[in-house]
Amino acid sequence: MNADRPEVPRVVALAGGVGGARLVDGLDRVLPAGALTIVVNTGDDFSHWGLHISPDLDTVMYTLAGLAPEERGWGIEGDTFHVLEEAERRGADAWFRLGDRDLMTHLLRSRALAAGDSLTEATAKLCSRLEVTRPILPMTDASSPTTIVTRGGDEMAFQDWLVRARAGPEVQRVELGKAAQPTGQVIEALRLADLVVICPSNPYVSIGPILSVEGVRGILREKTTVGVSPILGGRAVKGPLSSMIAQLEGKPASAQQVATHYEAFLDGFVVHPGDAFSAAFPVLDTNILIQTREDRVGLARALLDFARSLR
């Protein structure tokens, strides 16, 4: 962005799960209507109990609806698990903890998809029922599942690895779904964007799938793109990222290591105080530990000011 660009930029946020949703929540609180579109990873999507589950879309949607639990981040605050208990009693799969209220989302989505809606259309309907007005766009309407190839040579569906196996098996390689076609909505939002924000999500399994959608990288090269580190002081706030960096790169986790993933199109990167490094693009250090609403708003404001200062 430069001085000729509008005071209120059109922002597209690329987001995965909980970390991404938290920054999106901050951006949602500081940007006016029409100024924010969120493009979400669907590489984690899978079928469970015959239902189409889109964990990252739901995490972003519940966060913007004010329904997400503060600590856990995914699912619905205060949800009960009676159906899951019944599944356990009857010997059905109970490793993926679907809450009773959360279940309605998967039922409605699956019904809409079976009736011929695209995932983009089904997501818009789910958001509208929860009065979420920001556009939340799946990165693609096609199936593009992420697979984890373990050191032992097993190929595991992403949720099998992350949740069922508790991210235990060492990762040799991440295989992204084959080049998914973007939707018209994703391409249009990116083309119109003044700023693209890469949220503090896992670069391999959350942002990587979005970047692998056809055409996305090419558009990012033409845009002001700012990333936020998901690593603070060498550790991931949530999830298996620090061990994934060690296993995949053979190096300790660091904010700089994450930035190297995006350097082909980064115009700026935001890190926690103490994590700054010198690079070909400006690096801002500010508080990126965003648990509370105030932290999220503070980071969103700092990020937008930083982006405005970039040329």
- Please pick, from the candidates 146, 159, 225, 256, the single residue that binds ligand FO1 as defined by CB under 6 A: 159
Cβ contacts of 292 within 8 Å, gap of 6 or more: none
Taking the complex as a whole, the smallest distance from the CB of residue 254 to ligand FO1 amounts, in Å, to 21
- Please pick, from the candidates 25, 28, 58, 79, the single residue that binds ligand FO1 as defined by CB under 6 A: 58
* Helical ranges in the chain per DSSP H: 18-30, 55-64, 82-89, 100-114, 119-129, 158-159, 184-192, 208-211, 216-221, 241-249, 255-262, 293-309
Among the listed ranges 29-37, 55-63, 116-124, 215-223, the one in contact with ligand FO1 (CB under 6 A) is: 55-63
Whether residue 43 contacts residue 144, with contact meaning beta carbons closer than 8 Å, is answered with: yes
Nearest residue (CB) to ligand FO1, 45 versus 141 = 45
Taking the complex as a whole, the smallest distance from the CB of residue 309 to ligand FO1 amounts, in Å, to 31
- Please pick, from the candidates 124, 163, 165, 297, the single residue that binds ligand FO1 as defined by CB under 6 A: 163
Q: How far apart are CA 133 and CA 127, in angstroms?
A: 7
User: Structure tokens of 288?
Assistant: 């990126």
Nearest residue (CB) to ligand FO1, 44 versus 275 = 44
Nearest residue (CB) to ligand FO1, 18 versus 193 = 18
Among the listed ranges 24-32, 50-58, 248-256, 262-270, the one in contact with ligand FO1 (CB under 6 A) is: 50-58
**Would you count residue 17 as binding ligand FO1 (CB under 6 A)?**
yes
Go through the chain and tell me how many residues it has. Answer: 311
Nearest residue (CB) to ligand FO1, 16 versus 177 = 16
Torsion of CA 188, 190, 193, 197, to 10 degrees: 150
Among the listed ranges 22-30, 90-98, 241-249, 273-281, the one in contact with ligand FO1 (CB under 6 A) is: 90-98
Q: Are strands 147-150 and 155-157 parallel, antiparallel or unpaired?
A: antiparallel
Taking the complex as a whole, the smallest distance from the CB of residue 16 to ligand FO1 amounts, in Å, to 5
Give the full edge-to-edge strand order of the sheet including 155-157: 155-157, 147-150, 171-175
**Would you count residue 28 as binding ligand FO1 (CB under 6 A)?**
no
Task: Give CA 125 to chain center in angstroms.
Answer: 20
Nearest residue (CB) to ligand FO1, 55 versus 200 = 55
**Would you count residue 98 as binding ligand FO1 (CB under 6 A)?**
yes
User: Structure tokens of 306?
Assistant: 């930083």
**Would you count residue 74 as binding ligand FO1 (CB under 6 A)?**
yes
User: Structure tokens of 43?
Assistant: 């590489």
Nearest residue (CB) to ligand FO1, 247 versus 286 = 247
Provide the β-strand partners of residue 15.
Answer: 40
223: closest CA among 20, 37, 61?
37
User: Structure tokens of 270?
Assistant: 């935001």
Window 183-222: contact mask with ligand FO1 (x via CB under 6 A): -----------------------x----------------
Interface contacts to ligand FO1, rule CB under 6 A: 16-17, 44, 55-56, 58-59, 74-75, 96-98, 102, 159, 163, 206
